[in-house]
């Protein structure tokens, strides 16, 4: 599962490298209401494994390989999907596993959010997260179960 999160983050890095860019749905698939499934997570892990650990890696100086396009303008699932579609390797990997770029982008963001909730729960003095949608709660429980199964 750690490999999935690492590779998913690498794929996200292909699309945008600015964590403050505020990727969110705008007229598309909303990660807050996107329901993950075990089968979908399996396909996402397969995409990540196919792309390998260097997908979206930065050079040893920590700089973006494409200085003109740092991804700061990514503001929606659709923007992220367009970035994924722009990379032929990513587009081909998604197609082989019958995943659309919008579905994958929303799923990655939903899985990332669930992982962040789980990480926050493990912090000293953590309190339950209020305001989660039913889908987000289900995603957190799915990720908790998957992480528990790998330990």
How confident is the model at residue 19, as a pLDDT? Answer: 33
Tokens of 21: 């860019």
How confident is the model at residue 72, as a pLDDT? Answer: 55
Tokens of 133: 């949608």
What DSSP designation does 130 have? T
Task: Note the helical H segments in the chain.
Answer: 2-15, 38-51, 77-86, 88-96, 101-121, 134-150
pLDDT tens per residue across all 151 residues of the chain: 545 544 444 444 443 333 333 333 333 488 999 999 999 999 999 999 999 875 544 333 444 444 445 455 656 788 889 999 999 999 999 999 999 999 999 998 999 899 999 999 888 888 878 899 999 999 999 999 998 876 6
Calpha distance 147→77 (Å, rounded):
25
Q: 20-43 burial by CB neighbour count: b if 16+ within 10 A, else e? A: ebebbbeebbbbbebebeeebbeb
Tokens of 53: 């650990």
How confident is the model at residue 151, as a pLDDT? Answer: 61
Inter-residue contact 35 to 139 (CB < 8 Å): yes
pTM here is: 0.70
Q: Give how far Cα 117 sits from Cα of 26, 121, 149, Å.
A: 22, 6, 18
Contacts of 72 (CB under 8 A, 6+ apart): 16, 18, 21
């Amino acid at each position: 599962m750690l490999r999935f999160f690492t590779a998913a983050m690498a794929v996200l890095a292909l699309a945008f490298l600015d964590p403050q860019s505020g990727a969110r749905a705008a007229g598309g698939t909303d990660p807050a209401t996107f329901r993950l499934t075990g089968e979908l997570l399996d396909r996402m892990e397969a995409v990540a494994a196919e792309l390998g650990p260097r997908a979206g890696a930065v050079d040893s100086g920590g700089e973006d390989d494409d200085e003109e396009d740092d991804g700061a303008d990514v503001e929606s699932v659709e923007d992220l999907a367009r970035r994924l579609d722009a990379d032929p390797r990513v587009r081909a990997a998604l197609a082989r596993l019958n995943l659309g770029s919008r579905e994958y982008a929303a799923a990655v963001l939903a899985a990332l959010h669930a992982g962040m909730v789980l990480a926050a729960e493990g912090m000293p003095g953590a309190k339950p997260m209020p305001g989660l949608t039913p889908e987000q709660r289900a995603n957190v429980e799915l990720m908790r179960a998957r992480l528990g199964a790998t330990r």
